[in-house]
A = this chain, B = another copy of it.
Amino acid sequence: MLRVSWFWELLPEQKIIEEKILNIIKTSYKKIWYTSIETPAVEKNSVLTAKWWWESLKQIFWLYGLTQWCEKDTKKYSLHFDLTVPFARYVIDHRNELIFPFKRNQIQKVRRWERPQRWRFRELYQADIDVIWEEKDNKNYLFYDAETIFTIVNTLEEIFKTVNIDKTTFININHKKLINWFLKHIELKNIKGKITNLIDKKDKISKQDFIKELGNLNINKEKQGKIIEFTNIETFNIQEIKKLNINNEEWNNWIKDIEDILEILEQLWIKDKVKINLSIMRGLDYYTGMVFETFIEWERNLWSIASWWRYENFTSFIDSKSFFSWVGWSIWISRLESYIFEKLETNQKTSSEYLLINFKETQKKVLKLYKKFIEQWKYIEYYPEPDKLWKQFKYADKKWIKYCIILWEQELQEWQYQIKNMENWESFYKNL
C-alpha cells in the first residue's frame, strides 16, 4: 500500500453508498434550514488549542511549508480536529455578516493525530448541525434542543431505510447538572470527577468491576447502592426520575428542561425515540447542560454514532469579547459507515445502468443514441472499442450493468434499437 496508513479510503462501490449517505444528511439538514458552511482544513494553532491546550496539542497535525520561514507571519497552522472549534472561529470572524440565531450545517472531514483503533481513524467525516445565539440561557431556545434531536432522528432513520438495514436508532438523554445535585444530595460531591469518570466507562466494564471500583473510591455500601440505582435509570418516562425525590429548586429546574423538550418532541411525534439515561456522562467538562448520545438499536456495545452538546460562552475562549451560546449535534459518519459496510454486501461497481454495445459498423448511429440517453438522464456507458459481442456482455456482467443496448444491421433495418436485460436475458425494442 502506497497510501498513508490509518487514512481510510473507499472503493468505488462503497463510495456510491457513502455519497447516498452524505446526500441524505445534507438534504435532511437543509430541510430544517440549517444553512451550509465550509471552513478551511487549516486553522491557526492559537485558535485550535485555545480551549483544551494539551488535549488539542496532542492530536493536531502540524503544518509547515518550505518557504514558511521567510514569511513574516510565523504563527503555526494545523489541520482542524473537529468542526466545533472552526465554527466558533467562523462565527467570531463573521459576526457582523451573520444573522442570529444562526443555524448551520457543516459536513467535512477532520484529521486527528491519534493512536488508531477500531472505528477510529486519522481522517474522518463529521456532519454537524449547530444553532448559535448571542445571549445567555433562554428557555425559549429549548425548542432548538428538541429540533436538533428531531433532525438527527429523522436523518438516521432515513439513512437506515435507504441502505436497507432494518434497524432503528434511539437517543439517550441526560442532564449533566443532575449528577451534580445527586452527588451533593448523597454527600459525595468532593470526588465528583472520579465518580463521573467511572460512570462514563460503566458500559464497558462488568457490574462486579463497577462495584469494585466504587469500593476503591471508599464509598460505602449504602451510597454505592444509590449510585447504582441512579445510573441504572433508563426510561421513556420522566416520572421515574421524579421518584428519586431529590427536592431542590435547581434540580427541579433541570427536570423541567427535560420535560419541556420531551413535550416539544411529543408534538413532533418522535418522543418514543428518546430515552432518559442517567449514566450518560460524556468525558469533557465543557458540556454545561444536557448531553445526548445516539445508539443503534440492540448495538449498545458499539460506539455512539451521534452526539450532542450545549455550550454557554464557548467562543470567549478564542476571543474574550465574544459571548455566544449554542446547541449542536454531530453524526460520526465514518463510524456509522463502518457499521453499514460490515452489514452490507456491495457489488455494484458503477452507477451506470446501460451498456452501449460498440460495433465498428454502427458507431455513428450509436453516438446519437448515446447523446439521447444522456439527455434523458439515463446512466449509460459506451463500451470502449469495437469488440466481440460476448466480450462486451461479459464486461456488463462484471460491472453489474443491468441492460445492454444493441444497434446493428437487423435493428438498423427496422429503425429500432434493442434493449437486453442482463438478468433474465430478455430483449425488447424501441424506435430510434
Contact = CB atoms under 8 A, between A and B. Distances in A.
A174 to B, nearest CB: 24
Contacts of A418: none
B319 A2 contact: yes
Given A42-B123, A64-B62, A143-B382, A4 B77 contact: yes
A371 B269 contact: yes
Nearest to A61: B63
A107 to B, nearest CB: 11
Given A267-B367, A379-B30, A140 B65 contact: no
A89 B2 contact: yes
A93 B12 contact: no
A158 B315 CA distance: 41
A67 to B, nearest CB: 7
Contacts of A367: 264, 267-268
A187 interface: no
Interface string A199-237: 000000000000000000000000000000000000000
A35 to B, nearest CB: 4
A38 B313 CA distance: 36
Interface in A26-79: 30-33, 35-44, 47, 57-68, 73, 77, 79
Contacts of A103: 381
Nearest to A398: B99
A11 interface: yes
Interface in A339-397: 349-352, 364, 367-368, 370-371, 374, 377, 379-382, 384-386, 395
Copies of this chain in the oligomer: 2
Contacts of A430: none
A10 to B, nearest CB: 7
A119 interface: no
A9 B97 CA distance: 13
Interface residues of A, number: 95
Nearest to A268: B371
Interface string A75-98: 001010000000001101110011
A169 to B, nearest CB: 18
Given A11-B97, A109-B41, A384-B140, A33 B351 contact: yes
A243 B382 CA distance: 35
Contacts of A64: 61-62, 64
A-B pairs, top 4 by smallest CB distance, nearest first, are A65-B113, A140-B385, A7-B40, A267-B367
Interface of A: 1-5, 7-12, 15-16, 18-19, 30-33, 35-44, 47, 57-68, 73, 77, 79, 89-90, 92-94, 97-99, 101, 103-104, 109, 111, 113, 122-123, 133, 138, 140-141, 143-144, 147, 264, 267-269, 318-319, 349-352, 364, 367-368, 370-371, 374, 377, 379-382, 384-386, 395, 398-399
Given A2-B93, A15-B38, A99-B399, 20 more contacts: A2-B47, A2-B319, A3-B40, A9-B39, A10-B38, A12-B35, A12-B98, A12-B104, A15-B36, A31-B374, A32-B374, A33-B352, A33-B380, A40-B123, A41-B109, A41-B123, A61-B63, A68-B113, A147-B382, A267-B367
